[in-house]
Amino acid sequence: MGNERTHSRYISPVAQSAAAHAAQHYFDSVVSTLADLVEFRTVAKDGVANTDHPEFIRLKTFLARTAKQLGLDFEDHGAAVVMGFGQSDDRLGLLTHADVRPANHAAWAGDPFHLDTQSEPGRLIGRGVEDDKGPLAAALYSIKAFSDQKLPGKRRVELIISLTEESDWTPFRRFLDVWKPPDLNIALDAFYPVVSGERGTGAIHVTFPAQAPPKTPYGKPSLTSVNGGNFLSQIPAEAEALIAGANTDRIPTLFQELEDSPEGSFEFEIVGDSTRILAKGIAAHSSTPWEGRNAITQLAGVLGKYCWPPTTAGTLIRFINDLIGTSHYGEHFGNVAYSHNFMGPLTLALTTLRNIDDGSIVAGINIRRPVGRSGKTVEETIRKTLDEWQHKNQTPVSYTLEIGEPYHLQSAPHIPVLLDIFRLYSGRPANGPISIGGGTQARLLPNGINFGPAMPDEPYTGHSEHEFMTAERLELNLKMYTAMLVELAASNS
């Protein structure tokens, strides 16, 4: 599959031959292994370390068995496993991860933890297919195809499989404290052609305290709850509000707005004297919020056209419309918005609302910042904006901030080779590395960059409730990874 050109003056015939060998002999094995990997429900669980989680323990057993079958050595380091081929002191690292984000089963057409190869011809559907079990399966067989060539090696190849990329990076950092990584590293966890920049990922959690029920005229509708979202790094596909004392007769304008809204899909349900409104959006990775449709902010936008009594939920709706709106770039959040010529704009997305037992509501905001301003400046701007909003509205809230550091690798010796491989096999131009909004563990490794698996002009489906990769792209990944190993790990390539 694919539309690669027939020759390249940059990529050796040996590399091209090995890539063709991989596709011909191992693509079916890649799909089969991916199906096995998807079956492992490797989702972090509160209060249980991934190393103690039964699904991760089962996964390690599977990986150890697979390594033996492919002729690779295997090391279990707790938070990561390492599979290796070759004996050279000089090493090349391939970084993937085997943990995945949670899946909202109700939003999937089938079982997210069973690889669906039938319902949408040409697509492989399941949790982790793009992020990051598909690349892991392709990497395994690219190493096998490379080993089949019996080329003299200049670098040992080490496949590093993180087990905590989607949750807590602390265990992986501790692993790197005691295990010396290779000097040259390629993560398979982002986009093509080459990713050398990642915005810094942060979070703002704003808690709106419980407010006493307002003294409102009899029968006046009031917002009693608003919630939505699954996790911080996913644009929410659903949000709901509960309105006490509401029906189409009491606030007809609001319901007409919801029915006529061109920006979202809304459903109504009468629950006693209350009305439940469900907003439907489109899930996406929060690093690319424009690829989704945020159900929370769309619901808030319509609800904000009505003057609600000062309940906790009513105050929250005012906050959302004042400071966030439906923008992706923080233009309403004080002066926090800015952009960088390589890394692009800061993004700010409201992704979770949690109703707490004490009556409070916690809003989770995902923020991703480029270089160009210090973390201290961004934090001060956020604090100033939140404090001014509280003062203006005479509404106390509490908040916590986490401001991540952006990553920008100016140059690395393997970048030109990877760009040439991408140009050859994709048939697309590649003027140089790109930057992304997502954060990967490539930044923790020496000379860490990303090479795929997603194409730069296609929607990224990782973290969504319709995660997939086409069979064509998975095979293209297998070819490019194999050519990469020949070019970077074999002598006289």
Q: Are residues 386 and 472 in the same domain?
A: no
- Mean pLDDT, range 279-307, rounded to an integer: 92
- The band of 216, judged by pLDDT with boundaries at 50, 70 and 90, is low
What are the φ and ψ backbone dihedral angles of 408, each rounded to 5 degrees? -145, 110
| CA–CA separation, 464 and 127 (whole Å) | 9
Q: Do 19 and 156 belong together in one domain?
A: yes
Q: Which two structure tokens, joined as six digits, stand for 181? A: 């990584």
Q: Which residues contact 374 (CB under 8 A, 6 or more apart)?
A: none
Q: For the segment 328-367, what is each residue's pLDDT rounded down to a tens digit?
A: 999 999 999 999 999 999 999 999 999 999 999 999 999 9
- For residue 254, the model assigns a pLDDT of 72
Q: Do residues 374 and 479 both lie within one domain?
A: no
Number of domains into which the chain is organized: 2
Average pLDDT over every residue of 294-317:
92
Q: Are residues 448 and 367 in the same domain?
A: no
Mean residue pLDDT across the chain = 93
Task: Identify the residue with better confidence: 169 or 3.
Answer: 169
User: pLDDT at position 8, please?
Assistant: 47
Instruction: Report DSSP letters for 225-283, one per residue.
Output: EEEE-S-TTEE-SEEEEEEET--TTTSHHHHHHHHH-SS-EEEEEEETTEEEEEEE-B-
Query: Does one domain contain both 217 and 129?
Result: no
Q: Is the pLDDT of residue 311 over 70?
A: yes
- Answer yes or no: is pLDDT of 3 > 50: no
Check whether residue 395 and residue 420 sit in a common domain.
Answer: no
| Predicted local distance difference test score (pLDDT) of residue 4 | 39
Is residue 415 situated within a structural domain? Answer: yes
CATH classification of the domain holding 317: 3.30.70.360
Flag whether pLDDT at 15 surpasses 90: yes
Last residue of a domain, one of 374, 402, 430: 402
Of 371, 387, 402, the position where a domain reaches its end is 402
223 shares a domain with 102: no
Same domain? 135 vs 250 = no
Instruction: Identify the weakest region by mean pLDDT among 7-21, 35-49, 93-107, 294-308.
Output: 7-21
Task: Kindly list the distances between the CA atom of residue 360 and the CA atoms of 204, 212, 248, 312, 389, in Å, as whole numbers in the listed order.
Answer: 16, 11, 28, 7, 18
Predicted TM-score (pTM) of this structure: 0.88
**pLDDT average, residue stretch 439-456:** 97
- Whether 8 maps to a domain, the answer reads no
Same domain? 217 vs 250: yes
Nearest to 138 by CA among 23, 59, 38: 23
Alpha-carbon distance of 341 to 408, in angstroms, equals 13
Q: Which helix (H) or strand (E) holds 318?
A: helix 312-323
Tens digit of each residue's pLDDT (9 = 90 or more) over 239-264? 999 998 876 566 667 777 777 776 66
Tell whether 299 and 162 lie within a shared domain: no
Q: pLDDT tens digits for 78-124? A: 999 999 999 999 999 999 999 999 999 999 999 999 999 999 999 99
Which of residues 383, 402, 421 is at a domain's end?
402
What is the full DSSP assignment across 278-290?
EEE-B-EETTSGG
The stretch 161-181 carries a mean pLDDT of 97
Average confidence (pLDDT) over 221-227: 92
Q: In this predicted structure, what is the pLDDT of residue 43? A: 97
Assigned domain for 4 exists: no
| Residue 28: domain span | 13-199+407-489
Residue appearing with tokens 């067989």: 141
* Mean pLDDT to the nearest integer, 45-68: 97
